[in-house]
Amino acid sequence: MRRFTMGLAAALLVACQSGAQSQVAQLQADEIRATGTVEKVEVGVNCWRLAAEDGVSYELRTDQAPADLLENGRKVTVVLKPRTDLMSACQVGKLVDVVRVE
């Protein structure tokens, strides 16, 4: 019985450690993690923004963001990379690339 208990404890320890490592991926130095609501903004052309919970707006470009992310009202957490080399006709927030949806 003791041998079974020790084996079970070891298996649980390994499972907990591997799960903890995969929960939140590390960010690169130039990345931002943001949680908020995706919104479709009717500005000339259809524009998309992430209204983050911290009050910052990020512009999501349709040519770069995953299509399934662009759903009006969707609550998401995403990892973003700021773009300073682009301009936008929408001007609904900081321009970013979507690195991944979490």
10-32 pLDDT per residue, tens? 544 444 444 444 456 889 999 99
Contacts of 93 (CB under 8 A, 6+ apart): 49, 50, 56, 57, 58, 59
How many whole angstroms separate alpha carbon 64 and alpha carbon 76?
17
> Quick check: 101 and 66 in contact, CB under 8 A?
yes
37-76 pLDDT per residue, tens? 999 998 877 899 999 999 999 999 999 999 999 999 999 9
How many whole angstroms separate alpha carbon 63 and alpha carbon 35?
21
Entry field: residues in the chain: 102
Q: Strand 57-60 to strand 94-101: parallel, antiparallel, or no bridges (unpaired)?
A: parallel
pTM, two decimal places: 0.74
81-91 pLDDT per residue, tens? 999 999 998 99
